[in-house]
Structure 1
Amino acid sequence: MSLMITDECINCDVCEPECPNHAISQGEEIYQIDPDLCTQCVGHYDEPQCQQVCPVDCIPLDPNHEETEDQLMKKYLIISGKAA
């Protein structure tokens, strides 16, 4: 399941540089996460780095983009160019 950024975002700029897949970008009003690039840091870290640094805890799972751990790993392999 990819992550999402809620309206509680304060645009503090700390999440964007932490994303190893470059899935986070500035939207019209708040930061947003591209679900096609978000792997919850699977393949990079044990925990999503954006959630770790967010001071307002506004990055929950996105219920509209459910994925298993295996699907997230496959997405990571494709994004990183390591897919067979």
Structure 2
Amino acid sequence: MLRRYTSLGLQNLQLENATSLLGSSSLCDIVVKGTNVAERHALIEYHPVTRSFWIRDLGKSGEYIFDMPLIQPTPEKSRRVR
């Protein structure tokens, strides 16, 4: 499950596939609108062996976890991504 905070409050998004595409395009699994969000912004992958989610940056401006740039596919342990 992915939690998203918006002006409307907290939303819980169920990740139904092993991979979920996040971006501003209506073709994405998770649509996020914003001036800094690319059409195909990031890929969230679930690895059942380690029971962990990984984030792969697909955008040009980069992803950040705790203000540190995401350089390669990274396990999301902190539960806090921006």
Q: TM-score, normalised by structure 2?
A: 0.27
Bigger RCO (CA 8 Å, 6+ sep):
1
Answer 1 or 2: which has greater helix percent: 1
